[in-house]
Chains A and B, each alone.
Chain A
Amino acid sequence: MTDFVQALVNGLGQGSVYALLALGYVMIYKATKVISFAQPSLMIIGGLFAYHFTRVWELPFWIGLVLAALCGAVLGMVVERLAMRPMVGKPVFTLAIITIGVDIVLRIIANRYIGVQSKIVEYPGGSERLSVGGVSISHQTLGLMVVTALVVVGLLTFFRKSRTGLAMRATALDQETALAQGIKVGTMFALAWAIAGGLAAIAGTFVATQAAGIEQTTWIIALKALPAIIIGGLESINGAVIGGLAVGVVEALTAVYQPDVAPWLGANFALVAPYALMFAVLLVRPYGLFGQKEVERV
């Protein structure tokens, strides 16, 4: 039982990273109907910003985190302005492929910075762990969960209460009508990308605090948030969070139980378990758990 709860807690910790990334995908999807394959590079670069601020410039962790999120947001806006804005109105498939191109280019630049040694950001709590009844949780994971919760609550309040949030929701609903109401749709696109970039940078910073830090192969993590948004449904903020946490938990549980229960699946099956989960969910519910069914018209 303790093993199970421990796996659950670890899974929720890793799931928080996926949830942050999934939120970014959903932000961009809701505003522009595009799935951004550039999130992996935004996550890596966000983590590297945090590394540079905390290790090279020796700023405190939390200031570094905020600065990294801001830089990530600016980077997201730059990507949107340079690569996405000229393509407004083109098929979404084309835009999605462009984000793949953006990802490749940005990742090469990031790899130049990473080099051969992994870049690790130190979390202020160090390696201390909090134990409750045999289940232990590191301060770093705790911090990650708290930050994720704050970000989710903040985003939801932003969308419910603020004028800009309302404008973004209007843009997501119908761009032309939003335009007719005097909303600057282009600015809303930029804002969506900025939020997504900031979220990716926060996720990247926490990925960098883990033992492995940021290596040239770390970007794969960000792609695991894709099953999360598919499971949750592309349009749903709640779905993204739940999907992200679900993916994290399934991954952690698989890592603990699969070697004993189903050894024929091979070593490290946990790494691809999110994709297997996605196939299972999609066969039952083609639009995810919380997604809207498309109404079709000829």
Chain B
Amino acid sequence: MSRSALRNRPLLRTAYTQEMAMLNTPAKRRSVLAIVVLAALLPFVVTDDLLLVLTLGMIAAVGAIGLNLVTGYAGQVSLGHAFFIGLGAYTGAVLGGDPEGPVLGYGLPMWIWLPAAGVVAAVAGLLVGPLAVRLRGLYLAIVTLGLVFLGDHIFREAREITGGPGVGRRGPELTLFGIDFSQDGEVLTRGQLQFLLALVFLVVFAVLARNITRSGVGRAFGAVRDRDVAAAVIGVDLTRTKLLAFSMSSFFAGVSGALYYAVVGVFEPSAFSLLLSVQFLAMVLIGGVATISGSIMGALFIASLGRISGEIAHWLPFISDASGSSGLLSVFQLEAILYGLLIIGFLIFEPRGLFGIWLRVRNYWKGWPFSY
């Protein structure tokens, strides 16, 4: 069928490959292009402090996509994401860190430390796999929670690598293709450079994840999530699928962790606590379970929550700006309460998350001014 014949019937599909295509409607093609272009132009209109928030949000989105692969798509509840993020962060920091610094560092270039961070985390994911294969549901959640505590202990004790609690260490050097992303360049400022770098990585990993989910592996994930015994009966190798899910998710987490703390600069072992796992879980749940675009929305939303609660604090007299005891709540406490309430609220009222809200809005305007 020729292209012109399809012009007025864009949703007509004549082959499964069209149905399974990544951008299977013209609207998707146009809007994704528009979003990417707008995002690329954003650093030139937004101030640097807001850019940093968005940069960190986009890097966290890579980790959130990873968690969504294992928890959303493959249905294996993981509270251990913080451990893999930490593993990636420290692998990156050791390989790419300053060799003359007080802690271990080899000063390797970014094209080595970034993939290495992902691979080390993925291998750790494979090691956790055997437990995941034998356990399921909430047993698995508790075991992965134990992983966070064991990891926290290891990070605290390995002082020559992590600097120890209260001291911390510097992240790796952000230099790629001769461009130094850690200081202002000739044309662009540091914030703009980092934003664009994060955007490129986010697009690459989002496309990668989308491709995983629409491949045979992705369908196997879905089958395991929906009913693992049934999946095994129709020939899905449970062990292999769960191991794959954990290692892929950990790879994303490792890369995200290494990049995140390269941008942040100095970080402490206490960063990788249970709270971080809960934050990532919140990104996935608030964004939308088993959607890539939802993970990105969720991550950007959670990352800017600190900023949002700061803005709210200006308007509410009973919230103090600093951590002082005047006022009813401090900004940090407000932020934490918002987390909790958002998780509860979304799960009760809109389990599909921000992605679900987007669907509702889209469907409303699709039929506007008619109700359907």
Contact = CB atoms under 8 A, between A and B. Distances in A.
A147 to B, nearest CB: 26
Interface string B115-156: 000000000000000110011011101110111011011101
Contacts of B328: 112
A296 B231 CA distance: 13
Given A105-B340, A272-B149, A283 B347 contact: no
B325 A115 contact: yes
B9 interface: no
B126 to A, nearest CB: 16
Given A272-B150, A272-B153, A230 B281 contact: no
A87 interface: yes
Given A101-B341, A104-B337, A93 B137 contact: yes
B339 A279 contact: no
A126 interface: no
Interface string B268-290: 00000010001001000100000
Contacts, number: 121
B199 interface: no
Interface in B55-69: none
A97 B139 contact: no
B143 A97 contact: no
B29 to A, nearest CB: 34
B229 interface: yes
A90 B289 CA distance: 15
A266 B156 contact: yes
A97 B285 contact: yes
A60 B135 CA distance: 47
A35 to B, nearest CB: 5
A262 interface: no
Given A35-B138, A93-B138, A105-B337, A98 B343 contact: yes
B355 to A, nearest CB: 16
Q: Majority SS of interface residues in chain A?
A: helix
Contact of B139 (A234, A275, A298): A234
A108 B344 contact: no
Interface in B310-362: 325, 328-329, 333, 336-337, 339-344, 347-348, 351
A278 B140 CA distance: 12
Nearest to A103: B340
Nearest to A35: B138
B107 to A, nearest CB: 27
Contacts of B281: 97, 100
A181 to B, nearest CB: 28
Given A35-B141, A35-B142, A102-B340, A108 B333 contact: yes
Interface string A72-106: 00000000000100110010111011101111110
Interface string A269-286: 101100110110011001
Given A96-B138, A112-B333, A279 B343 contact: no
B19 interface: no
Contacts of B147: 275
Interface in B30-83: 77
A271 B274 CA distance: 15
Q: How large is the interface on B (under 10, 10 to 19, 20 to 34, 35 or more residues)?
A: 35 or more
Contacts of A229: 142
Contacts of B149: 223, 272, 275
A286 B150 contact: no
Contacts of B184: none
B134 A298 contact: no
Interface in B225-255: 227, 229-230, 233
A111 B330 CA distance: 11
A195 interface: no
Contacts of B153: 266, 268-269, 271-272
Contacts of B145: 223, 226
Contacts of B344: 83, 98, 101-102, 105
B336 A227 contact: no
A202 B302 CA distance: 36
A296 B131 CA distance: 18
B336 A230 contact: no
B160 interface: no
Nearest to A230: B142
Given A101-B343, A230-B143, A282-B135, A275 B150 contact: yes
B157 interface: yes
Contact of A226 (B142, B150, B343): B142
Contacts of A282: 131, 134-135, 139, 143
A298 B57 CA distance: 41
A272 B150 CA distance: 6
A261 interface: no
A298 B343 contact: no
Q: Which of B135, B233, B342 has the largest number of chain A CB atoms within 10 A?
A: B135
Given A104-B336, A276-B150, A96 B278 contact: no
Given A272-B150, A283-B131, A108 B336 contact: yes
A297 interface: yes
A267 interface: yes
Q: Which of B156, B347, B351 has the largest number of chain A CB atoms within 10 A?
A: B347
13 contacts: A90-B351, A94-B351, A112-B328, A115-B325, A223-B274, A234-B138, A234-B139, A275-B146, A275-B147, A276-B150, A279-B146, A282-B143, A286-B135
Given A102-B344, A230-B142, 11 more contacts: A35-B138, A86-B348, A97-B281, A97-B347, A98-B347, A104-B336, A105-B340, A112-B329, A267-B157, A272-B150, A298-B229
Q: Identify the 9 closest CB pairs spanning chains A and B, nearest first.
A: A266-B157, A104-B340, A275-B146, A101-B343, A105-B340, A101-B344, A101-B340, A286-B134, A272-B153
